[in-house]
């Protein structure tokens, strides 16, 4: 989770939720309407030099760092926001290469988000180059602990002199 600048006094405004970063000239032709973590605000591209942030407006009150621990404990809220985050990234990735951002990366203002893109330009461009033309795969494995332990014991027994 990341949140830049400001305190609770600015918590009632709107900030920018950053899903990921793309090349500015890639301009994804992707339908993301209704997928944002806050369905009241569409996903937008905020261009800064050669980069663009895939972002949408969010309530700073809802995503305030002080409130996040409680929100992250709300399974319904968490599932809704994680699904939206992933769907935006998947739709974007279907059109262009994207460097994904961590869930709940929120900037308090557009200038702060643009400053991030500007200050981190070189590492972000290098990361985009690394992921270009590649796909990320997630693998999840489940193990039957008893069978695993029995197989390990059997292998040990077969190696014993």
Q: Output phi, psi for 85, to 5 deg.
A: -55, -50
pLDDT in tens, 28-86: 666 677 788 888 889 999 999 999 999 999 999 999 888 888 889 999 999 999 999 99
CB 56 within 8 A of CB 39: no
Q: What is the predicted pLDDT for the residue at 137?
A: 74
| Single pTM value for the model | 0.76
Contact (Cβ atoms closer than 8 angstroms) between residue 106 and residue 33: no
Give the domain ranges of the chain. 2-136
Residue pair 20/99 in contact by the 8 Å Cβ criterion = yes
Helices and strands (H and E) in the chain: how many:
5, 6
């Amino acid at each position: 989770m990341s949140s830049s600048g400001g305190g609770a006094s600015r918590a009632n405004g709107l900030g920018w939720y950053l899903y990921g970063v793309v090349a500015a000239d890639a301009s994804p032709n992707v339908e993301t309407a209704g997928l944002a973590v806050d369905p009241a605000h569409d996903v937008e591209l905020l261009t800064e030099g050669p980069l663009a942030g895939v972002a949408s407006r969010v309530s700073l009150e809802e995503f305030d760092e002080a409130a996040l621990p409680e929100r992250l404990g709300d399974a319904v809220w968490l599932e809704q926001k994680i699904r939206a985050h992933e769907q935006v990234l998947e739709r974007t990735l279907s059109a262009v290469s994207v460097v994904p951002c961590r869930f709940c990366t929120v900037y308090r203002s557009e200038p702060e988000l643009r400053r991030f893109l500007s200050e981190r330009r070189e590492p972000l461009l290098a990361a985009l180059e690394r992921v270009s033309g590649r796909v990320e795969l997630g693998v999840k494995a489940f193990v039957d602990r008893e069978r695993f332990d029995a197989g390990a014991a059997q292998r040990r027994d077969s190696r014993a002199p």
